[in-house]
């Protein structure tokens, strides 16, 4: 069975300030691209917050999202059930930009007493990118794609657009890895200019 690779991005709720008692981030939007063999499937939805149901003004402004949009979204339980379907479709690899997406999903599942939906491999592509290019600091998603001379897909901080941009960076990095692995190590003949040596000896 072909491996399912899931490129996923969540957007989270935010507190108005630091003083919101007991606040924790909740998933309010999901975007994903599932790739299996040559087949691709997209999924995108707003998600209703369970505990802190009213979005802060800061959150609405930062994500350009409205209370009506999240109120019309799916419940967390439906999101987890949907992710479980992808996980059960074959050996599963989940690719995210950064580690917050899976951390928040795990926390949301624990608080809601839902089983975490993924059981396969997890790839933090931002760390892969950092190691591959030898960067000292982690690079933001859209800065990374711009460093490749490309543009991000759609709008930044829109879940499906960020998931698609993650997929495009993944393809670019994998292509570079294959190119480097394919490059054969040089021979002594590649490193020494024998024509110059012959001319020197002929003098």
Closest CA to 159 of 55, 3, 12, 4: 12
Residue 196 is predicted with a pLDDT of: 53
Distance CA 97, CA 100 (A): 8
Whether the CB-CB separation of 51 and 104 falls below 8 Å is answered with no
User: Is the predicted pLDDT of residue 93 greater than 60, yes or no?
Assistant: yes
Beta bridge partners of 8: 32
Told to judge if 11 belongs to the known catalytic residues of this protein, a careful annotator would answer yes
Say what the pTM is.
Answer: 0.84
Cβ neighbour number for residue 60 with a 10 Å cutoff: 16
Tell me which of 3, 128, 147, 157 is the catalytic residue. Answer: 157
| pLDDT-based confidence at residue 182 (cuts at 50, 70, 90) | low
Please tell me whether residue 202 adopts helix, strand or coil conformation: helix
Q: Tens digits of per-residue pLDDT, 125-178?
A: 999 888 888 877 778 888 888 888 877 777 888 999 999 999 999 998 888 877
Weakest-pLDDT range from 17-21, 108-112, 190-194: 190-194
Distance CA 121, CA 108 (A): 20
Residue 192 is predicted with a pLDDT of: 47
Q: Which domains does the chain have, with CATH numbers?
A: 4-161 (3.30.420.10)
| pLDDT-based confidence at residue 189 (cuts at 50, 70, 90) | very low
Q: What is the mean pLDDT of residues 73-84?
A: 98
Told to judge if 156 belongs to the known catalytic residues of this protein, a careful annotator would answer no
Q: Tens digits of per-residue pLDDT, 11-55?
A: 999 998 877 889 999 999 999 999 998 899 999 999 999 999 999
Q: Are strands 92-96 and 121-124 parallel, antiparallel or unpaired?
A: parallel
Residue 131 is predicted with a pLDDT of: 86
CA dihedral (54, 74, 168, 107) positive or negative:
positive
Q: How far is CA 15 from CA 33, 65, 94, 117, 173, in A?
A: 29, 14, 28, 26, 35
Tell me which of 11, 26, 29, 168 is the catalytic residue. Answer: 11
Give the 3-state DSSP-derived string for the chain, with helices as H, strands as E and coil as C: CCCEEEEEEEEECCCCCCCCCCCCCCEEEEEEEEEECCEEEEEEEEECCCCCCCCCHHHHHHHCCCHHHHHCCECHHHHHHHHHHHHHCCCEEEEECCCHHHHHHHHHHHHHCCCCCCCCEEEEHHHHHHHHHCCCCCCCHHHHHHHCCCCCCCCCCCHHHHHHHHHHHHHHHHHHHHHHHHCCCCCHHHHCCHHHHHHHHHC
């Amino acid at each position: 069975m072909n491996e399912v690779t899931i490129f996923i991005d969540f957007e989270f709720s935010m507190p108005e300030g630091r003083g919101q008692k007991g606040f924790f981030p909740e998933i309010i939007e999901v975007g994903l691209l599932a790739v299996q063999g040559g087949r691709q499937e997209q999924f995108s939805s707003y998600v209703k917050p369970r505990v802190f149901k009213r979005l802060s003004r800061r959150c609405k402004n930062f994500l350009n999202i409205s209370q009506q949009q999240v109120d019309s979204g799916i419940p967390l339980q439906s999101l987890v059930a949907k992710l479980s379907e992808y996980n059960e479709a074959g050996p599963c690899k989940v690719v995210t930009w950064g580690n917050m997406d899976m951390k928040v999903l795990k926390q949301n599942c624990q608080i809601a007493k839902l089983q975490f939906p993924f059981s396969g491999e997890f790839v933090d592509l931002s760390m892969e990118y950092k190691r591959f290019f030898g960067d000292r600091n982690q690079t933001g998603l859209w800065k990374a794609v711009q460093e490749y001379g490309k543009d991000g897909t759609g709008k930044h901080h829109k879940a499906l657009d960020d998931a698609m941009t993650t997929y495009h960076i993944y393809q670019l990095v994998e292509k570079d890895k294959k190119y480097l692995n394919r490059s054969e190590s040089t021979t002594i003949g590649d490193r020494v200019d024998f024509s110059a040596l012959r001319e020197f000896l002929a003098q």
